[in-house]
Amino acid sequence: MYFSRGRITTFLVSTLLMGASILETKADEKDLYKFLWLDPDKKVYVLQNKLYKKERTIYTQLGYLAGLSGEYQDTMGFNFKAGYYFNEEFAVEMFYNSYSNSNNDAYENLQRINQSVPFIRRINSSYGAMGVWSPFYGKINTFNKIIYFDWNFGLGLAKINAESNKDTVSDPNASSTFNSESYVGGVAKTGLRVHATKKLFIGIDLQRTFYQAPGPTINGATASDKMRGTSDLILSIGYSF
């Protein structure tokens, strides 16, 4: 079959136009975003489908916590929290923390080398409530799997049950005795909610508890109150319903 140069040219041009049309159909959204972002007069808000809704949901979480602030104590425990999301951003949350404390190597070395006991205040439990704000959500692709998450912040009040050896630590002739204490303080946190399923998620939280408390008693005089705080890393499993 004979093809003239004109027919060949027409065929190639038609093929190229059809190919360009197909590519444009597949990539039009990507190209559109590129064009809009390059246009300084345009404001583009990119929305993604939000698969994991929080509005009007109740959730509970149970987790393991590790204390990060004990200079002479190894601290661990468990955390329970429950909350309710009024909408996609704001929730109210109640929590309870139980702590287990033990002397660490720094404490044992100080006692063995200097025959002295440090001033220690340790928290046994805390509970309270906070408001939670979740302004960020997103997704990441790792190992060809898309992981969805929310990033939240919380601020509230806490009742703190603690104990310290402040009354006996400065007396070398007295054994170190811990007396119970109670404080009302504040609590703040930031955390991630990593979604596993529609209902199940993993929580990773960094929580800071702060309160005013006195220092050790020296020669009958108790040090003035000072702002103090502890930090906890919490890893939990949550369920939303």
**pLDDT (mean) for 162-181:** 86
The Cα 126–Cα 98 span in angstroms is: 7
**pLDDT (mean) for 224-232:** 91
Domains of the chain are 1-46 (no CATH), 57-240 (2.40.160.20)
Share of the chain above pLDDT 90, in %: 57
Q: Is-above-0.75 flag for pTM?
A: yes
Give strand ranges (E) for the chain. Answer: 57-67, 73-85, 90-103, 121-142, 145-164, 179-195, 200-213, 217-218, 221-222, 226-240
